[in-house]
Structure 1
Amino acid sequence: MDFSLTSEQRELQRIAGDFAVKELSGIAGDIEATNSPLPRRFVKRLAEMGYLGVNLDPAYGGHGLGHLEAVLVLEAVARVSPGVAFPIFESCFGPVLAIQHFANEALKKRIIPQVVAGDMIVAVTMSEPDAGSALTDLTTRGRIEGDSVVINGQKRWCSGSGHSDAYVVYCRLSDAPGAKGIGAVLVEKDAPGLTFGPQEELMGFRGVPSADMFFDNVTVPAENIIVPAGGFKKLMEAFDLERCGNSTMSLALASAALDDALAYVQERKQFGKPLIDFQAVQMKIAEMAMKVEASRLLIYRAVTNASAGLPSIADSSIAKCFANEMTREVCGAAIQIMGGYGYSKAFPAERRFRDSWGWGIAGGSIDIQKINIASTLVGRRFDQRR
């Protein structure tokens, strides 16, 4: 067991961090101010740097590195802003992995190279007005008619809705009850019958569009089926890697907050000496650092154990749950340490605090992760309905 990154991994991390600071810091401020997604020219730059295919198969244009390398890149870029890193999150940890693992070869060859090249952004849409944590209650239905799938229903809380070029849509593909009837279909943005509601105004996550999606007899080829009815377990296995991306976004926020707070307490003087010379501040900084490092190791463990496959539900849920709680605590502590400068919109601390709360809601809430963890400990799933 080696806890050290290789020289190649450290260099990958350094280059990604330098690139993000030099080329994305300016646009990050615009994204926050206007709540607009990362402009496509910057998505193309991410593609040119190779960051949209870090852990994707070279057969489809990816670079064939491991999930750990993808984590290193995502954290380095997301330290500037989750908004500028979101295309990396979607390509390396989100729905594209489900396509790579489970879709037919024709769909893989049509979609993944476009994502890697920065010509397509793919989002996943799962939740509905009456189906969030209880995802098996979803009612959006895909009716198979010959060589087509006809989809009707409504989706909610889709990150990227209205902006992304295609969507992995979780829907009911048979009349079988519960999870047995659920699968996933790729629907492209210009499909007739697909419309979007107004953009949500969220507490954080600015630059990551979210809106309701309405499917009115949306018809797509049957070859767009990624996972047929009965494949819900497969979809959740792919979602375990999404949890690791979510965890990494949380880590990036906390890590950047810690660095800013550490710099501040060494520069800011009160009562004639730097803040860091006060023992109470030393304790707080040390607590923040311990939480950040513990989170980083849990994420590294989850993706390293997964190797080139998908992480276990135990590893990914523990990593996500800890990171989601940790980032709220660390980003909050940074504001307290920095006082008015932390609370001011002129500085990034308050934005990180708002963003930090979102990751513990997105991708399966903190409490749901704890249920997953308990389930793996006792070796059985819990029936929440009885």
Structure 2
Amino acid sequence: MSEEDYGFDTLVTRFDEDGSGASVTGDVVPPIHLASTHEMDRPGTADHGYKYTRFGNPTRDVLESRLAKLAGAAHATACASGTAAIAATCLAVLEPGDRVVAFDGIYGGTRLLFEDLVVDSLGATVEYVDATDTDAVADAVTDDTALVWMESPTNPLLRLCDLAAIGEIAAAEDATFVVDNTFSTPYFQRPLEFGADVVVHSTTKYINGHSDSMGGVVLTNDDAIETAIDHVRAYELGGTLSPFDCYLTLRGLRTLPLRMDRHEANARRIAEFLADHPVVRRVRYPGLELHPQHALAEAQMDGFGGIVSFELDASEAETRAVLEELDVFTLAVSLGGTESLVDHPATMSASYLSDAEREAAGISESLVRIPVGIESVDDLRTDLEQALANL
């Protein structure tokens, strides 16, 4: 049986290059190679392939190989953070004066990077469109568009875009199509199968899954794009993922399917509870039939993820007071760890956006985002129930 025949759950547990399950020292899990430099056999030449850890590291190679296989990619480039992965992609693909079309619902940190790096530093332009409307994307993408940037689902409003349709639009204009797949992970969605040229993840989130390591990865089947991204990462940004963080990410990766199944099961139950609660104005979760793009989620995703967003029938002060009453949910930014978190985007994860930018993005003062963890769902529901009873 060859590795190509293995299912996802088997692939996440195997870390050797040849699929044999063996290593020189018989390690069951990959060791951490902490050396910053490696001995050369001759000046400028190392038969083992390693010279300096910014350019290559055995532990990082194992992680990149595994992530590429899980995503159906030929190449994976591990970076020091999700933001570093986004920056490396932009710097590798764009030239001064290029034009970018992006989902108007993308993560605020990505939007900030676009404004500071893509617009101010590179001199490119960015047009934001409502990508839930495929026709709007088709109208915006023209022959001078170099990059089409999407998230699906988006952060924090969980809006979706039709990946296959947008992939065709981008390909018709020879634009590079990038999808941030952080929320879904390759377990629930593989955008390369829908025509994406590049996929990025913040591995800090679900892929690592334990809230103890930062990282990012860029995945592609395009040799030229991979070469350019690797050059930017190693030579221009120096933003390679450290060997220790690679080890932690590999550690977390082994339980990705188990965790994602539990995250989704808990999130669905919590979303259903919130949808019936009298003080909840609106719930956003792709797994609910009331989500306007539920059918699209069923078509292009294998699962609906672990994030639920909802708006309360309350003021900002009342919303903040509810969140401060939670006990099982931890008030913190980020997501994807085993623990349940709660985030008030207007004052936390999206606080660096202006009031006008938050309003344009649909981030209201009563919006709450909950990355649902793997605890007892009954405990999570009881915690929400007692906090919401204060309204």
TM-score, normalised with respect to structure 1: 0.24
Q: Which of the two has greater helix per residue?
A: 1
TM-score, normalised with respect to structure 2: 0.24
